[in-house]
Structure 1
Amino acid sequence: MTEPFDITQPSEIDLHSEYLRADLFFAMGQSTEAARVLQPVVDAEPGNQAALELLARSYYGAAQLARAEDCLTRLVELAPANGWARRALARTLERQSRGADAAVHHRVADALGAA
């Protein structure tokens, strides 16, 4: 005999499904909702570069620049040769009026051939 499903117990989230759901929210221009859905995915998989990048893009799109900077800094630490992450970090720093900090990342992005 099977046990009945207990709806009072929290179920594990399907990280891939949540990533796809966040990607859909982001594509629809709902950056804040995308970030809300994606944060638990990044918390569960902190080394997942795709999830971290989408979270950074979501925070940037929602003008949550300090959070975007944190995600992009972590992404650059995980993948120092990621030119896109360097360029995005530089632009995030510029939006916070931190041009001198941004210049370093622009130079590295240029050296890596990032657009």
Structure 2
Amino acid sequence: MNALNAYYEHGTPAERWARAQLFFDAKEYAPAARVLDSLAAETPEQLAPRLLLARAYYHSAQLSRAEGELRAILERWPVEDYAQLLLGRTLERQGRAAEAGTYLRIAAAMAGDFPEA
């Protein structure tokens, strides 16, 4: 393991979570994703690190990774409306508007945002 990887994986889960949030808040999305990747793998039962990882992937234009993480989240937590929305946005950014529409409509319905008849 090189020194950089050791930095990203060093500390308790709580310390790494705090570090990842600092990176994310500073719009340093790729480093945030590096910290969150191992943290999410260690705690797959926790939604927050996985959702922040998907967001970090999205904002750092790692769209296929964001898509994979979001699909995994929705397998486990199908009523997570923000994951539905972010998956729709991720698919849009990949030029897959027709597929994105399904997730965007689900997210809107979950949020109670129904088009007027």
Under a length normalisation based on structure 1, what TM-score does the superposition of the two structures give? Answer: 0.85
Structure 1 residues 72, 114: closer, same or farther in 2, change over 3 A? farther
Query: What do you get for the CA RMSD once the two structures are aligned?
Result: 1.9
2:83 is matched with: 85
Residue 72 of structure 1, aligned match among 60, 70, 73: 70
- Amino acid in the other structure paired with 1:51: P
Unpaired runs of at least 5, structure 1: 1-9
CA contact (8 A) 1:84 1:114 kept: no
> Deviation digits for residues 5-55 of structure 1, max 9, x if unmatched?
xxxxx9x84112101100100000100000011111011112210000110
Give the helix-richer structure, 1 or 2: 2
Which consecutive segments of 4 or more residues in structure 1 shift more than 3 A? Answer: none
- Amino acid in the other structure paired with 1:31: Y
Unpaired runs of at least 5, structure 2: 1-5
- Counterpart CA distance in 2 for 1:43 and 1:13 is 15
Structure 1 residues 78, 97: closer, same or farther in 2, change over 3 A? same
Under a length normalisation based on structure 2, what TM-score does the superposition of the two structures give? Answer: 0.83
- Counterpart CA distance in 1 for 2:47 and 2:56 is 14
Within 5 Å, give how 1:16-27 maps onto structure 2. 16-27=14-25
Instruction: Give the fraction of aligned pairs with identical amino acids, expressed as a percent.
Output: 39
The structure having more radius of gyration, on CA atoms, is 1
1:33 aligns with 2:37: no
